């Protein structure tokens, strides 16, 4: 599979789309640095960095949130992502929701329900965060009480709704997937502090220049491998037979394929696995007197062998589970049968579904192991280079996937505009002569 070819020539419409996208992302990042009122950000950051809940807040911040800084956009896009995942999973489990997903009006209805659920999730998360800051962190709130909780819920929920609206506006009026671009831009913004930290490590002799060069070479290799794995796919050939369309017109048979990507589930299995494995540590921070939670939290210390082994197993399991939801092989086989299409050498119907299941099973395993490995790379690098690595495998997966998709959309927009321009200028010749031979 070849990479998308991006031509740098930009027409007026594409320029407007890119400008709107850039301004929306700028607004988002400005809001991500405005602290919510009533919170001592320094006390909050110090507590999180030394608590067992650091993994949870780190995961949330990686996905575009700002809980560790208590900003007005602290919840980020996470409430919308959680709501979307809920309906995506319901689509594979509940037939009524699956039916709505197949219809245009049904998809609009699901989109509206997703927004309502986003608001409910944002309200719950804002209240929980406000209660956590008020009761668990000494000195973090100057004036604790119902007034602080009400203001925190109002500010954070309003911020989450605005971020959701901003992402939808980028998707409709800009270029690329708005929600994904918000996450990607927040990740890329964190590169500059990492570069400054690396320079400080060199100046203080924490690491040598040769060590930094080796570190950067490993990162580049991981990024290249991630690009290759993101684009890698197993193509299942599809044959569409010849059809008689009426009045003697014959539509010739076509050859197509179903692409089964190595990373069909993308970053979702990593998020699910990390969410499960950091639960003990997060609960231990809420209930410090519970010895059982502290013991489980210490057992799953990030970077330790129990943590990495459990994380790998969870990532593989969630990869198979998520793909079974988003890649309904039975429906695909039925649709092919209705269209008269078939996989060469395979009987239509249940046999085709079983064949696609077998292909998915073989492709998913190496993809799931790669996902687990790329997420564990930071811990391995930290042990190898002797200092905490700011490099995150999850971030690389998100950034690579979103940038490839955005470049492909830009290239597609340019291709469509190019053909529209040709048709409007009348550069397609001999059309009448060609039509006589059809």
Structure token pair of residue 284: 């231990």
pLDDT at 6: 47
d(CA 98, CA 350): 20
Distance (Å) of CA 152 to CA 142, 214, 425: 13, 45, 58
Q: Is the dihedral of CA 148, 149, 154, 156 positive or negative?
A: positive
d(CA 152, CA 36): 7
Is residue 43 exposed (0-12), middle (13-18) or buried (19+ Cβ within 10 Å)?
middle
**Residue where the block lists tokens 């949870």:** 56
pLDDT at 432: 44
pLDDT digits (tens, 9 = 90+) for 99-151: 888 788 888 899 999 999 999 999 998 998 888 888 878 878 888 888 889 99
pLDDT at 123: 93
pLDDT at 117: 93
The three-state DSSP-derived secondary structure of the chain is CCCCCCCCCCCHHHHHHHHHHHHHHHHHHHHCCCECCCECHHHHHHHHHCCCCHHHHHHHHHCCCCHHHCECCCCCCHHHHHHHHHHHHHHHHCHHHHHHHHCHHHHHHHHHHHHHHHHHHHHHHHHHHHHHHHHHCCCCECCCCHHHHHHHHHHHHHHHHHHHHHHHHHHHHCCCCHHHHHHHHHHHHCHHHHHHHHHHHHHCCCCCHHHHHHHHHHHHHHHHHHHHHHHCEEEEEEEECCEEEECCEEECCEEEEEEEECCCCCCHHHHHHHHHHCHHHHHHHHCCCCHHHHHHHHHCCCCCHHHHHHHHHHHHHHHHHHHHHHCCHHHHHHHHHHCCCECCCCCCCHHHHHHHHHHHHHHHHHHHHHHHHHHHHHHHHHHHHCCCCCCCHHHHHHHHHHHHHHHHHHHHHHHHHHHHHHHHHCCCCCHHHHHHCC
Residues 119/157, Cβ–Cβ less than 8 Å = yes
d(CA 172, CA 164): 13
Q: Which domains does the chain have, with CATH numbers?
A: 1-189 (1.10.3370.10), 206-391 (1.10.3370.10)
- φ/ψ (deg, to 5) at 343: -85, 125
Encode 83-111: b = buried (16+ Cβ within 10 Å), e = exposed: bbbebbebbbeeeebeebbeeeeeeeebe
Structure token pair of residue 169: 């506006």
To the question of pTM greater than 0.85 for the whole model, the response is: no
d(CA 268, CA 319): 8
pLDDT digits (tens, 9 = 90+) for 161-192: 999 999 999 999 988 888 888 888 888 887 77
Ranges in the chain, pLDDT < 50: 1-2, 5-8, 428-438
Structure token pair of residue 9: 């020539």
pLDDT at 433: 41
- φ/ψ (deg, to 5) at 256: -140, -170
């Amino acid at each position: 599979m070849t990479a998308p070819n991006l031509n740098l020539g930009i027409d007026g419409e594409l320029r407007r789309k890119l400008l709107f996208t850039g301004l929306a992302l700028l607004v988002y990042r400005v809001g991500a640095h405005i602290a919510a009122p009533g919170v001592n950000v320094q006390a909050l950051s110090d507590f999180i960095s030394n608590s067992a809940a650091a993994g949870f807040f780190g995961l949330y911040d990686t996905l575009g949130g700002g809980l560790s800084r208590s900003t007005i956009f602290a919840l980020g896009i996470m409430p919308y992502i959680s709501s979307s995942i809920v309906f995506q999973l319901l689509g594979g489990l509940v037939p009524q929701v699956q039916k709505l997903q197949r219809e245009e009006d049904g998809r609009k209805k699901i989109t509206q329900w997703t927004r309502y659920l986003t608001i409910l999730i944002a309200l719950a998360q804002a209240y929980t965060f406000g209660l956590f800051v008020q009761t668990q962190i000494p000195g973090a709130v100057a004036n604790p009480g119902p007034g602080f909780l009400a203001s925190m819920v109002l500010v954070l929920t309003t911020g989450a709704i605005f971020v959701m609206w901003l992402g939808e506006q980028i998707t409709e009026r800009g270029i690329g997937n708005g929600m994904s671009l918000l996450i990607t831009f927040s990740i890329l913004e964190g590169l500059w502090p990492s570069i400054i930290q690396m320079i400080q490590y060199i100046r203080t002799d924490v690491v040598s220049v040769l060590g930094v060069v080796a570190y950067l070479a490993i990162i580049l290799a991981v990024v290249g491998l991630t690009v290759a794995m993101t684009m890698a796919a197993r193509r299942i050939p599809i044959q569409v037979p010849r059809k008689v369309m009426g009045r003697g017109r014959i539509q010739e048979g076509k050859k197509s394929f179903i692409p089964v990507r190595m990373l069909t589930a993308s970053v979702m299995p990593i998020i699910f696995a990390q969410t499960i494995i950091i639960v003990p540590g997060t609960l231990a921070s809420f209930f410090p007197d519970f010895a059982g939670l502290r013991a489980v939290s210490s057992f799953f210390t990030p970077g330790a062998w129990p943590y990495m082994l459990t994380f790998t197993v969870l990532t593989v399991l969630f990869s198979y589970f998520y793909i079974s939801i988003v890649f309904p092989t039975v429906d695909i086989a039925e649709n092919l049968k209705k269209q008269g299409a078939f996989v060469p050498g395979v009987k239509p119907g249940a046999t085709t579904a079983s064949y696609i299941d077998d292909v998915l099973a073989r492709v998913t395993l190496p993809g799931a192991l790669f996902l687990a490995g790329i997420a564990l790379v930071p811990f391995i690098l930290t042990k190898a280079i002797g200092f905490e690595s700011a490099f995150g495998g999850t971030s690389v997966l998100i950034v690579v996937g979103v940038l490839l998709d955005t470049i492909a959309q830009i290239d597609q927009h340019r291709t469509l505009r190019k053909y529209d321009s040709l048709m409007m200028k009348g550069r397609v010749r001999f059309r009448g002569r060609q039509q006589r031979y059809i």
